Structure 1
Amino acid sequence: MYVTNIETIPGKTIVEHYGLVQGSTVRAKHIGRDLMAGLKNLVGGELKGYTELLGDARKEAVERMKGQASQLGANAVVNVRFATSSVAQGAAELFAYGTAVRVE
């Protein structure tokens, strides 16, 4: 399945439009990552535990979005966007959405 953040797939023609598809996941930090992040805040630098957490969440949200598109009969999702929001202290939602289409 093609997934892109632009409105078209270069070299392909959109022949059918299925509408909005989405995928999301809510992830919470765990105590180990919190402790390491707290220490890293003292000296500065990348919070690799959180980077991994968000990377995993992004992959899961995209897979769920692609699954919804596939169920509709799409073979591509265009104009993909990501959003995040805090849903509780220590937990955040990562949301992926786009337009499901069939391309040839």
Structure 2
Amino acid sequence: MMIVTTNDVANHEILEVIGYVKGSTVRTKHVGRDITASLKGIVGGEIRGYNEMMEEARKIAIGRMVEDAESKGANAIIGFRMQTSTVMQQAAEIIAYGTAVKIS
């Protein structure tokens, strides 16, 4: 599955626009990560536990978006975007979305 942030794909023709596709996941913080984050808040530095959690969440959201596109017969996604939002205290949603297309 080709995924691009642009509205076209170089050296390919868009044969069919299938439509909107998305994938998302909601993640919560882990107590161990919260303790580490609190300490990092005092001394400063990168919070690796949260980075790992968010990287995993991005992979899951993109994977679900690709599954959505494949189920609709697409072979590419254009206009790819990713967004995060707070759902509730201690939980965040990651959503990946774009336009499913068939390209040559």
Q: For 2:5, what is the secondary structure of its paired residue?
A: coil
Number of residue-to-residue matches in the alignment: 104
Residue 78 of structure 2 corresponds to 78
- How far did 1:6 drift? 1.0
Moved over 4 A (4+): none
Supply the distance in 1 between the matched residues of 2:45 and 2:80 (Cα, whole angstroms): 30
Identity of aligned residues (%): 48
2:23 equivalent to 1:23: yes
Residue 46 of structure 2 corresponds to 46
Q: TM-score, normalised by structure 2?
A: 0.97
Unaligned runs of 5+ in 1: none
- How far did 1:47 drift? 0.9
1:15-54 Cα deviation digits (max 9, x unpaired): 0111100000000001000000110111111111111111
RMSD value, Cα = 0.6
Residue 8 of structure 2 corresponds to 8
- How far did 1:98 drift? 0.1
Supply the distance in 2 between the matched residues of 1:6 and 1:73 (Cα, whole angstroms): 20
- How far did 1:82 drift? 0.9
Unaligned runs of 5+ in 2: none
Opposite residue 87 of structure 2, the aligned amino acid is: V
Residue 103 of structure 1 corresponds to 103
Q: TM-score, normalised by structure 1?
A: 0.97
